[in-house]
Structure 1
Amino acid sequence: MKNAFSLSFCVILLTLTSTFAQKKPIKLGVVGLTHGHVGWILSREAKDDIIMVGIVETNRDLAQRLSNKHGFPMEMVFNSMEEMIAAVKPEAVAGFGNIYDHLAIVEICAPKGIHVMVEKPLAVSLEHAQKMEALAKKHKIHLLTNYETSWYPTNLKAYELLQEGTIGDLRKVIVRDGHKGPKKIGVSAEFLNFLTDPILNGGGAIMDFGCYGANLMTWLQQGKRPNSVTAVTQQLQPENNPKVDDDATIILTYDSAMAILEPSWNWPIGRKDMEIYGLKGAIYADNRHDMRVRISEGYSGFKEEAFKLGERDAPYDEPFSLFASVIRGETTLGSYDPYSLENNMITMEILEAAVQSSKSQRTIQLKN
């Protein structure tokens, strides 16, 4: 009886120990503070999934400003990734600097087995993305890309309805993203500096907001690559964006569908919305929470259902919860999930072709 009790106690103790170990927060390092989206992690409430252990930022003035605003100690701020990794040994890193530096982050982290999440887009070019992918696969790390629209409940609902055949076979998708322009909306000087640099950002609005539509379309099409990419860009605010485009239209053709992406720094009202058209109806994902579904009736008539959606369930409600869950092996991303590397390699192929098309003023054919 005593031995049976001892055995049962040991089993319970091992189970509790295993559970505690599994839920131990992932140690996260933040590389760069110049990206305006860094507030996402700096202002995040303390949870048991991720704990920020170090920051890399050479601009001490910027680091001090954000320290004053968000309350992290300046002792957490290091001058290099090597210094931070040696001091605090992060298990994962989130990149919040310029897009050009994403490759360098993976080059340092991957051989050390440190998982990486970067802000969209994955890279400044397909060449950079391919090097990052090779490193991630070689060293078996997770390499994820964060898009705000990945966490929109309306986009998930639209995807599900499309897969269920609610509006019939897909024929056209229109994705519109952007705002008045980084300078007009008052982003920080550090953020503006790299957003409007063709080297550090890979382009202007075509990269900054074109990536959203390319990412969503790759998800909707479950990894189908477009047959062709055609892009036209303009510079409507040369005084604010002298080195890069600030308005773009990108057309993607598929065997039986088309996508029109409209990334712009010239929208009078900020937006991230999507329209999906099938043979029987249309889905309008108007914003994060509001969505409409119209089913055709006759020539121009339709039956409409409106949705007001709440936030997605954890860990799919924000990037850091899902990052931790994926690292722990608790969550496996769906096929061509917007967050996934397989999706974002195709997204980068689309963006590269769009940039080439806009420069050459011709359609780029993609080999399938």
Structure 2
Amino acid sequence: MKNFQLFLTLLFCQILGSLQAQQPLRVGVVGLTHDHVNWILGRAKDNDIEIVGIVEPNRALAERHAKRRGFDLGLVYNTIEEMVEKTKPEAVTAFNSIYDHLSTVEYCAPKGIHVMVEKPLAANWKHAQRMIELAQKHQIQLLTNYETTWYGSNAKAYELINKENKIGSIRKMVFHHGHPGPVEIGCTPEFLAFLTDPVLNGGGALTDFGCYGANLATWLLKGETPKTVFCNVRHIKPKIYPKVDDEAIIVLEYANTEVIIQASWNWPYSRKDVEIYGQSGMIECLNSKDMLVGPKLEDRGTPLVADPLPVNDPFTYLEGVVRGRIKVQNFDLSALDNNRIVVQILEAAKHSAKTGKVVEWEKFFKGK
């Protein structure tokens, strides 16, 4: 009898799991103020996720998005409490200010709701620590999304370096991330309101684009942390950005590698590219797919076009992770252990920029 009951229980679990896998992941969107929200609102409809609710108290903003994207305003709620109570999402995507990522996790984690935030994970190290604590305690997925996570070129570089040993050990990486400036490229007023606020965004260009290089470096170096961090920030356009930096250079010294992160709102064009120099060659990721690979010291690089990733959409990824089909590996680009280090790098960089001194990693984070 007991064996039969066990059989029925296992059969029920299998049927339930199969039915769940066939149903779209129920997703709530928290905030419409981040312009990257167009990523989820504008993606082609698929059966992997269903937006069941949107949190946005700014009615005019919600109406603007609804008109543009064609969703029903009945999906929009004023508070996260109301949205969760009425729609019961399995996961939420946070497109609010970086500072508000903490309150999103504080509400969702105890309810077992998984969270994906837009980069970076948190506005400061104190917030990140609390978010990590909550995610681990309540065993939710807490993922961070970057545009560059879905670049085939970056994935190909990782493969060439860490699986094929194409250029030997990494000695230097130089990251160029940014654009002419959020005002200059036409970001919405709602986005600018927090993006140019030192508290709500955690900084200016340093936070906005410094996180990309920190994220990629941590991944390529398999979770290694720097020994020292130095950062210099500038206000080249104080009339446009009076409260935050618009230019930052972060220098990370590792045991055998130097990383230079150039985060800027002063590039003449938008860019997200990297140069990686090894003992016996170099790799340049020029954009999401175009690369130069030079395995010989005397060779600048041969053109290579990287294949698109099998999963190249953050929301497909979120669904796969929550459903258990995709396992988040240690120090993956979206992983919590990677993005913990990213926030630490940004925190150390801000302290260095403020004091003008090199930050020693172990001393700075001892006891924090």
TM-score, with length taken from structure 1: 0.93
> What is the DSSP-based 3-state SS (H/G/I as helix, E as strand, rest coil) of the residue aligned with 1:229?
strand
Paired residues for 1:1-40 under 5 Å: 18-40=17-39
Question: Are residues 1:365 and 2:364 paired?
Answer: no
Equivalent-residue separation in structure 2 for 1:140 and 1:14 (angstroms): 20
> What is the DSSP-based 3-state SS (H/G/I as helix, E as strand, rest coil) of the residue aligned with 2:167?
coil
For residues 158 and 54 of structure 1, do their structure 2 counterparts lie closer, same or farther at Cα, with a shift above 3 Å needed? same
Equivalent-residue separation in structure 2 for 1:61 and 1:303 (angstroms): 52
Equivalent-residue separation in structure 2 for 1:199 and 1:168 (angstroms): 41
> What is the DSSP-based 3-state SS (H/G/I as helix, E as strand, rest coil) of the residue aligned with 2:200?
coil
Give the equivalent residue in structure 2 for 1:50.
49
Equivalent-residue separation in structure 1 for 2:210 and 2:100 (angstroms): 19
Give the equivalent residue in structure 2 for 1:6.
none
Q: Which residue of 294, 307, 312 maps to 2:309?
A: 312
Counting matched residue pairs gives: 353
Equivalent-residue separation in structure 1 for 2:54 and 2:209 (angstroms): 27
Equivalent-residue separation in structure 1 for 2:236 and 2:222 (angstroms): 35
Equivalent-residue separation in structure 1 for 2:13 and 2:356 (angstroms): 64
Give the equivalent residue in structure 2 for 1:85.
84
Give the equivalent residue in structure 1 for 2:6.
none
Give the equivalent residue in structure 2 for 1:268.
268
For residues 252 and 89 of structure 1, do their structure 2 counterparts lie closer, same or farther at Cα, with a shift above 3 Å needed? same
Question: Are residues 1:302 and 2:299 paired?
Answer: yes
> 1:327-346 deviations in whole A, cap 9, x for unaligned?
01111122200100000000
Equivalent-residue separation in structure 2 for 1:167 and 1:14 (angstroms): 48
Give the equivalent residue in structure 1 for 2:3.
none
Structure 1 gap ranges (5+): 1-10
Structure 2 gap ranges (5+): 1-9, 364-368
Provide the aligned C-alpha RMSD in A: 1.6
Q: Work out whether residues 283 and 301 of structure 2, in 8 Å CA contact, stay in contact via their aligned partners in 1.
A: no
Q: Work out whether residues 282 and 300 of structure 2, in 8 Å CA contact, stay in contact via their aligned partners in 1.
A: no
Paired residues for 1:65-76 under 5 Å: 65-76=64-75
For residues 358 and 170 of structure 1, do their structure 2 counterparts lie closer, same or farther at Cα, with a shift above 3 Å needed? same
Equivalent-residue separation in structure 2 for 1:157 and 1:331 (angstroms): 19
Query: What percent of counterpart residues are identical?
Result: 48
For residues 303 and 44 of structure 1, do their structure 2 counterparts lie closer, same or farther at Cα, with a shift above 3 Å needed? closer
Q: Using the TM superposition, give the Cα deviation of residue 48 of structure 1 relative to its aligned residue in structure 2, in angstroms.
A: 1.5
Equivalent-residue separation in structure 1 for 2:330 and 2:127 (angstroms): 23
Give the equivalent residue in structure 2 for 1:241.
241
Equivalent-residue separation in structure 2 for 1:138 and 1:13 (angstroms): 28
Give the equivalent residue in structure 2 for 1:95.
94
Give the equivalent residue in structure 2 for 1:183.
183
Question: Are residues 1:328 and 2:327 paired?
Answer: no
> 1:195-250 deviations in whole A, cap 9, x for unaligned?
10001000000000000000000001111110000000001111111100000000
Equivalent-residue separation in structure 1 for 2:267 and 2:17 (angstroms): 51
Equivalent-residue separation in structure 1 for 2:175 and 2:90 (angstroms): 35
Q: Using the TM superposition, give the Cα deviation of residue 46 of structure 1 relative to its aligned residue in structure 2, in angstroms.
A: 1.6
For residues 280 and 23 of structure 1, do their structure 2 counterparts lie closer, same or farther at Cα, with a shift above 3 Å needed? same
> What is the DSSP-based 3-state SS (H/G/I as helix, E as strand, rest coil) of the residue aligned with 1:288?
coil
> What is the DSSP-based 3-state SS (H/G/I as helix, E as strand, rest coil) of the residue aligned with 2:144?
strand
> 1:134-169 deviations in whole A, cap 9, x for unaligned?
000000000000000000000000011111210011
Q: Using the TM superposition, give the Cα deviation of residue 264 of structure 1 relative to its aligned residue in structure 2, in angstroms.
A: 0.2
TM-score, with length taken from structure 2: 0.93
Equivalent-residue separation in structure 2 for 1:16 and 1:284 (angstroms): 48
> What is the DSSP-based 3-state SS (H/G/I as helix, E as strand, rest coil) of the residue aligned with 2:65?
helix
